[in-house]
Structure 1
């Protein structure tokens, strides 16, 4: 039986999601520390031909502070599909959203037409990275809000060098937002994927087309780390110059073009 949070997504999808356009469907899931607005460039650009929706994952809701995992998030995503009355959308996921999207396709194969995996991988993080992230989030468990120094450190992982140098206003706007988040919400959010299992060997079970998009300057997950996933899925891989871990937000035109071309192949 679905838990109460998943049911919230089914019954309140219209309040937890933003959508525009009509036609074939694209549902977008954000990454850690982000929210549904990170897909505003895709919503605005692609809604001329497609029905595009983006929603807030648990960490950005009032259900943020209880423990959950990526499979729970996949259940939530399926509830959003139901709640918005979508019919086999393409699922786009950035980072954590991409980890979730893989599990969605494994758990709900009849509810997805394709995957757009943005700055995501199918294997766990390396052990040293896990230890680094665990050290960062342990201090957040009982924090009223994310400290500014932690938010600034996170910006080094979430945005590429080019963006930090050439678009500091974008970076600062997200840092300001992060410092309003309850510490425990971020603790549970990162905890949802920190000890995730490797699903690379299961990707042959996914029988829908996939696009892998990865920022060339991604400091969180190297481009090379996404290659096993792309190979296992038989996916086209689009490496985005001058973009870091939030490539769809940092270089939206390049990412929008790649997604549009992919959607044309899926739906035509």
Structure 2
């Protein structure tokens, strides 16, 4: 099967990152599938654009259309996972399947309190200091080939308050009822916070299953790029075989 014939895949990055987050997955999958990674509003190449979930869903839809080969498998991490749930709700005709990575926790209730605190704190800290801390942490934890594209693309700290301000209080397992396509809930085994609702999210959808990346945390696609890419590959092939 050539990339032109394979299931198209669109990747949606997490908080503060950009399309560069997905460089390991794009490299691993592009020979078999048409692939693309987006910059959400307020991030990366769209850093001057205002954030909204509506605009984020439009960006994902544009990426699916640009691949030009039918409904896509959308892979969303963290913030990108919640944006992908919104996309699934408003543009179901463009969705062939959904991978929720690090995005199976309710954003309602007490869970949201510390994240509201962080969203309020970030604008008070110098962006260059935050970027330096992030660069140092990523380089300490991961090989250069995994994170350099993310580091080069910079960070969208200025968008974090608006993005999480809209997401917090909005999503729980009930959001799965708006997803018409099959769902893979793909989490790092050690991502205890964002795994907290995975069972409820899976129960809320008739065609959802959970898969864990062993020993991985919230950034599972960095912790084990090969295992993460393989999980996406298997799911994409299943979707293609059932089309």
**TM-score where L is the length of structure 1:** 0.74
Q: Return the alpha-carbon distance in structure 1 between the equivalents of residues 77 and 47 of structure 2.
A: 19
Gap runs ≥5 in structure 1: 1-19
Instruction: Tell me the equivalent position of 1:259.
Output: 232
- Please say if residues 66 and 188 of structure 1, whose CA atoms lie closer than 8 Å, have aligned partners that are also in contact: no
**Shift in Å, 1:256:** 1.6
- Tell me, what secondary structure is at the counterpart of 2:115? helix
Gap runs ≥5 in structure 2: none
Q: Return the alpha-carbon distance in structure 1 between the equivalents of residues 150 and 68 of structure 2.
A: 34
Q: Return the alpha-carbon distance in structure 2 between the equivalents of residues 33 and 125 of structure 1.
A: 21
2:53 pairs with 1:70: yes
CA deviations 1:70-129 (Å, max 9, x no partner) are: 2331122112223443421111101111111112111111111111111112631552x4
Relative to structure 2, which stretch is displaced further, 235-244 or 74-83? Answer: 74-83
RMSD: 3.3
Q: Return the alpha-carbon distance in structure 2 between the equivalents of residues 70 and 115 of structure 1.
A: 17
Instruction: Tell me the equivalent position of 2:70.
Output: 87
Correspondence 1:1-268 to 2 at 5 A: 21-23=3-5, 24-61=7-44, 63-64=46-47, 68-121=51-104, 123-127=106-110, 129-141=111-123, 145=127, 147-148=129-130, 151=133, 167=142, 181=155, 183-193=157-167, 195-221=168-194, 223-233=195-205, 234-268=207-241
- Tell me, what secondary structure is at the counterpart of 2:211? strand
Instruction: Tell me the equivalent position of 1:6.
Output: none
**TM-score where L is the length of structure 2:** 0.81
**Shift in Å, 1:259:** 1.3
